[in-house]
């Protein structure tokens, strides 16, 4: 596919997408490769579109979200992890989507384990396992946030010498004329730092 893709004219690439789309599950690797190439090279402008999303939705009735997933799947599993096309197709698009978030943030050993699990586990069973894993992660995340919130409330109610309800009133007074855009930026940065710090603490 690599050599053929590189030798294709823009029109041939556009036509190939239309043909491959008809059997998406069978052709998701080749389709992802073409979409990735078109997105990165901004070839959609050749057709007069300003965005990749507008291009795939208008030309192929393919949602921008799905087109993005197809391109990302090819980039992660074939380009970055260097898994051969046959193995990727055997795992299948749906199972790859299930493990993708975990593969993206995993180290190399964990990535191999996820690939192995996806190749050996039926889709329904894999979906159930990941659903439980998400519940567990959410519970752990909630627990850490609750500890942080409790520590914050204790610190603030002690400092202002007031109850929680009165603290909310004082905070409302403080924020009524605050620069909310700046506050949002600071909160986003600190939330990311908090999440990264908790991830490091959980890593053995």
Closest CA to 153 of 140, 171, 180, 139: 171
Q: Which residue has the higher pLDDT, 22 or 153?
A: 153
Q: What is the pLDDT of residue 203?
A: 53
Q: What is the pLDDT of residue 5?
A: 58
Please state whether the predicted TM-score (pTM) of the whole model is above 0.75: no
Task: Render pLDDT for 48-107 as a digit per residue (tens, 0 to 9).
Answer: 999 999 999 999 888 999 999 999 999 999 999 999 999 999 999 999 999 999 998 888
Q: Which residue has the higher pLDDT, 132 or 148?
A: 132
Closest CA to 34 of 62, 58, 70, 66: 70
Is the pLDDT at 117 greater than 90? The verdict is yes
Q: Which residue has the higher pLDDT, 24 or 102?
A: 102
Token pair for 80: 């970055």
Q: What is the pLDDT of residue 6?
A: 60
Which runs of E-coded beta strand occur in the chain?
A: none
Report the share of the chain in percent with pLDDT over 70. 92
Q: What is the pLDDT of residue 1?
A: 46
Q: How far apart are the first and last CA of the chain?
A: 41
112-119: long-range contacts (C-beta < 8 A, 24 or more apart)? 115/81, 115/83, 115/91, 118/91, 119/87, 119/90, 119/91
Q: Which residue has the higher pLDDT, 23 or 111?
A: 111
Q: What is the C-alpha separation between 50 and 48, in angstroms, rounded?
A: 7
Q: What is the C-alpha separation between 117 and 111, in angstroms, rounded?
A: 10
Contact by Cβ (8 Å): 112, 83: no
Q: What is the pLDDT of residue 2?
A: 46
Is the pLDDT at 3 greater than 90? The verdict is no
Task: Render pLDDT for 141-200 as a digit per residue (tens, 0 to 9).
Answer: 667 778 888 888 889 999 889 988 899 998 899 888 888 888 888 988 888 888 777 766
Q: What is the C-alpha separation between 195 and 159, in angstroms, rounded?
A: 26
């Amino acid at each position: 596919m690599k050599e053929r893709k590189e030798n294709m004219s823009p029109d041939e690439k556009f036509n190939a997408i239309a043909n491959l789309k008809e059997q998406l599950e069978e052709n998701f690797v080749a389709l992802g490769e073409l979409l990735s190439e078109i997105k990165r090279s901004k070839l959609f402008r050749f057709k007069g579109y300003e965005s990749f999303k507008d291009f795939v939705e208008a030309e192929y009735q393919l949602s921008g979200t799905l087109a993005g997933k197809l391109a990302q799947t090819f980039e992660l599993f074939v380009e970055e992890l260097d898994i051969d096309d046959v193995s990727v197709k055997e795992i299948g698009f749906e199972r790859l989507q299930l493990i993708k978030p975990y593969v993206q943030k995993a180290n190399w050993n964990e990535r191999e384990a996820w690939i192995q699990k996806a190749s050996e586990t039926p889709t329904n069973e894999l979906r159930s396992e990941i659903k439980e894993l998400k519940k567990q992660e959410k519970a752990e995340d909630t627990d850490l946030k609750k500890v942080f919130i409790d520590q914050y409330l204790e610190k603030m109610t002690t400092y202002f010498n007031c109850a929680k309800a009165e603290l909310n009133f004082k905070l409302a007074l403080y924020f009524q004329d605050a620069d909310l855009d700046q506050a949002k930026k600071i909160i986003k940065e600190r939330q990311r730092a908090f999440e990264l710090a908790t991830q490091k603490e959980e890593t053995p």
